[in-house]
Amino acid sequence: MDINNSVALVTGANRGLGRAFAQCLLERGARKVYATARRPESVDLPGVVALPLDIADPASVRAAAEAAPDVSLLVNNAGIQTGTDLVTGSLDAVRHEMETNMFGHLGMIREFAPALARNGGGAIVNVLSAMSWFGAKGAGAYHLAKAAAWAMTNGVRLELAEQGTLVTAVHLGLADTDMAAGWPVDKIAPSDLAAAALDGVEAGSAEVLADQWSRDIKSRLPLTPEEFYAAMDRALAALTAA
């Protein structure tokens, strides 16, 4: 897919990774960029079309699809992290992460797939996480939601192949955004993440591993659970000690 002259819609585009995606799309010549947020007045990027959108609200998602029928590139970026454990944490918070990080993205895909088909197939970018592949205390709900979103991404890729829609999964460790502000470690710049993701779209890639952290974790998946989590403990200790 060629980003130049495309019509893109980015969720959660008022800050962080979403704003970086919108900026990068403009720089690469996108003809129109819909920048969505629950409060569209918070979108401060010149040159975009701001739209209201709450991806966890099906009526809001449907309204966005009706307002943007010309989309050829959908960037599912919006997400949350509640810091909830699965056994002792609030079950409502676990459900909220699933509704946003997985069902929210799936709802966007279901609503926009017909427009993508009409507009030549196009592409979908799902911003996932290296935590699709591992859990950690204090982030069980996030791991669950991102793992489910990874499986969903793989499933819709198969279902949308016939209509010519590319589905690209983007994995990363930590990006330099508000969500990761409490981690005093090296993080990928939002602009670098957006550039890597869009490079992957233009190359027709099904998966983008945007940083070394995500590449390292993906490489450990053949290990047994005991070996995998021992390696993760060593990697996390080295990361926080650096």
144-158: pLDDT as tens digits: 999 999 999 999 999
pLDDT over threshold 80, residue 241: no
223 domain residue, yes or no: no
Q: Band of the pLDDT at 185, cuts 50, 70, 90?
A: low
pLDDT digits over 98-126, tens only? 999 999 999 999 999 999 999 999 999 99
Q: Are 51 and 39 in contact (CB under 8 A)?
A: no
Q: Structural domain tally of the chain? A: 1
pLDDT attached to residue 53: 97
The answer to the question of residue 193 being in a domain is: yes
Whole-number Å distance between alpha carbons of 227 and 212:
20
CATH number at residue 123: 3.40.50.720
Residue 238, in any domain of the structure: no
> Both tokens of residue 187?
């993080």
Classify residue 217: in a domain, yes or no.
no
And the tokens for 56?
């966890």
Q: How confident is the model at residue 174 (pLDDT cuts 50, 70, 90)?
A: confident
**Strand, coil or helix: what is 82?**
coil
What number is the average pLDDT over the span 169-181? Answer: 73
The C-alpha angle 120, 51, 143, rounded to 5 degrees, equals 80
CA 78 to chain centre: 7
Residue 11 has pLDDT above 60, yes or no: yes
CA distance 160 to 76: 16
As given in the structure block, the two tokens for residue 151 are 């499986």
Find the length of the chain: 242
Q: How many CB atoms lie within 10 A of CB 52?
A: 16
Across the range 24-33, mean pLDDT stands at 97
Q: How many CB atoms lie within 10 A of CB 224?
A: 8
Give start and end residues of each alpha helix (H) in the chain: 16-27, 58-67, 91-98, 105-118, 140-160, 190-203, 212-219, 225-241
- Band of pLDDT at residue 94, cut at 50, 70 and 90: very high
- Of 66-75, 186-195, 197-206, the range with the lowest mean pLDDT is 186-195
**222 in a domain, yes or no?**
no
Is 235 within the bounds of a domain?
no
220 domain-assigned: no
Residue 231 lies in a domain: no
Question: Which residue type sits at 21?
Answer: F
Print the domain residue range for 73: 7-212
Q: What value does the mean pLDDT take over residues 171-189?
A: 67
Q: Is the pLDDT of residue 96 over 80?
A: yes
Range scoring the smallest mean pLDDT among 130-144, 172-186, 219-233: 172-186
Residue in this structure with the two tokens 């499933």, named with its chain if needed? 155
Q: Residue 73: how many CA atoms within 13 Å on its side-chain side? A: 30
Reported pTM = 0.93
User: Letter for the amino acid at 207?
Assistant: E
> For residue 175, what pLDDT is reported?
63
